[in-house]
Amino acid sequence: MHCICLHLASSGLSKFHALVEKMMQSIPSAKDSIVSIQSTISSTITSPGLKALRSELEFRSIENRELILENVDKIHSEWSNLKLDLNSWSNAFSIELSNELESIMNEFKADFPNPSTAPSHEQRVELIGNLMDRIEVGLVKVSGKHGISEDETRSKFVPVKEGIVKALVLIGDLVEQHPILFEAALFSATILFMPEVWLTQPILSCFGFGPLGPVKGSTAVWAQRRFFGAVVSKGSWFARLQQAGMRGWGLWKLPQIVLGAVTGGIGWSIFKCRF
């Protein structure tokens, strides 16, 4: 999945850059914030800690694969045609982490019900930081099942956690000042986070969006409103991209979908007739 998503991210970058340019041209005062978001996410997904965590998980998965293959004949003859995807660890890990974070999100929602007003900068920092602390606990638990110690996971996750917190706070602050940029900002973040989708998808879903689609239903609406003070409109161009990502074919066709959305005028509609 990692290689696939790297290809998809690369394929969609030209559309992404075009959208970012349009955002900055339409609202020049937002340029610094947009550049900061880009820089923060880029440095986060290329951080040594994240690369080290992925490498360790890959190594552990290969170890387990070799152990299974060595003992295939001892287990049962029907296993003789066993085929294992070397990248399957990423799928398994994402599913495990998503399941773990689902229960964490249920607790978080109970602790922080919907507010009557959008969060301020200070409240946003506190909320996002609080949830990321809980997410780290879930990550430690799941990584432990894959043979990685708590100290090792926490140390590698530090720059990732800090980067995600900073990026999400920046997006929230941008949306607070320029609500019209909400969907464009989420789309930009979606493309930039995609190369490490095995980890970013479960985490970002807690905040109502992600490289392969948002949390379904009311949870997505709650998260978007709680952290960003806005909600992706049903039927909007970004909602269509997200829905596509949640279908099996969305992962493979995302660059084409993005191209169609942008060139067809769906993406640009957030700028037209509003300035």
Q: Where are the domains of the chain?
A: 2-270
* 55 pLDDT higher than 80: yes
Q: Model pTM?
A: 0.77
pLDDT over 90 percentage in the chain: 35
Q: What is the DSSP letter of 271?
A: T
* 176 pLDDT higher than 80: yes
Least confident of 15-19, 130-134, 175-179, 263-267: 263-267
Least confident of 27-36, 143-152, 171-180, 218-227: 218-227
Give the residue from 125, 67, 96, 85 showing the smallest Cα distance to 3: 85
CA angle 242, 109, 179 (to 5 degrees): 50
* 211 pLDDT higher than 80: no
State residue 22's pLDDT score. Answer: 77
State residue 234's pLDDT score. Answer: 66
Q: What is the DSSP letter of 265?
A: T
Residue 230 — pLDDT band, cuts 50, 70, 90? confident
Interatomic CA distance for residues 182 and 171, integer angstroms: 8
How far does CA 73 lie from the centroid of its chain?
40
Beta carbons within 8 Å of 78's beta carbon, 6+ residues apart: none
State residue 33's pLDDT score. Answer: 92
pLDDT over 70 percentage in the chain: 65
Which comes out higher in pLDDT, residue 95 or 71? 95
